[in-house]
Amino acid sequence: MELLPETYQRLRGQVAVVTGASRGIGRAIALAFAAEGAKVAVNYASSSAAADEAVAEIIAAGGEAVALAADVSKTDQVDALISKVMEKWGRIDILVNNAGITRDTLLLRMKLEDWQAVIDLNLTGVFLCTKAVSKIMLKQRSGRIINIASVAGQMGNPGQANYSAAKAGVIGFTKTVAKELASRAITVNAVAPGFITTDMTKDVKSDDILKYIPLGRYGEVDEVAGMVKFLAADAAAAYVTGQVFNVDGGMVMA
């Protein structure tokens, strides 16, 4: 990555927390924010080498970042994560709730553990991080929160009852919290990717799926990061809240 020249950096002096930023979409978001001059907390669960590598890339380009381990489905670990960011940089301007997992199987074969693990991270994790960070943003009277949902939460997907339920929950949560925080100039939006090339989708790609994507190809992580960057950094996005933005090659057209 390359840092933009200082005068073009729209996130200069701002602090961003990106959950699940060691790989995939989260990593691309962290790098996109850093290029705009943000200080970035690169959260991860277990891939410490990958998180360190993302941080090293940002620092080599002249940016600021730190890798912070935390399972964001756990209250104590979320609180520790947010405390560490506050100790280091003293403010949080942007939160991206990106960490997510799948445990795909058809409903009748789905074990309670498969259901619970996905709900715990993909929905409860969004609640825990948003709650912890919103306290800080309310005091600052500004902030941007971006939740990574999915087309599965809008249209359903066989084998993903747990995941679709969590992502639909994220969309409802986004709209409610957007209303609750709006009076303090905090925006809350969701981005709903379709099929993006990452570790998460490497085993589910098929020609069958491409039939449902009007643009006829899978998406790239930088395309999702571009939408997230718009919501975090663009001046026009200050007047956008409670919305869901699809980055899906046209899969969902509401």
Q: Which residues bind ligand NAP (CB under 6 A)?
A: 19-26, 43-47, 50, 71-73, 98-101, 121, 148, 150, 193, 195-196, 198-201
DSSP 109: G
Nearer to ligand NAP by C-beta: 52 or 64?
52
- Find the shortest distance in angstroms from Cβ 241 to ligand NAP: 20
Cβ of residue 187: shortest distance to ligand NAP, in angstroms? 19
Nearer Cβ to ligand NAP, position 9 or 43? 43
Tell me if residue 163 is catalytic: yes
Q: Residue 157: what residue type?
A: N
Q: How far apart are CA 216 and CA 205, in angstroms?
A: 13
Least distance to ligand NAP from the beta carbon of 5, Å? 29
The residue (of 37 and 193) whose beta carbon lies closer to ligand NAP is: 193
Nearest distance in Å: CB 127, ligand NAP: 14
Rounded Cα distance, 194 and 200, in Å:
12
Please state, in angstroms and rounded to a whole number, the distance separating the CA atoms of residues 154 and 222: 22
Q: Which two tokens stand for residue 224?
A: 């999702």
Q: Determine which one of 8, 44, 163, 218 is catalytic.
A: 163
- Across 82-127, the runs of DSSP E, i.e. the strands, are 94-97
Burial of 90 (0-12, 13-18, 19+ CB in 10 A): exposed
Of the pair 38, 41, the CB lying nearest ligand NAP is at 41
Active site residues: 163
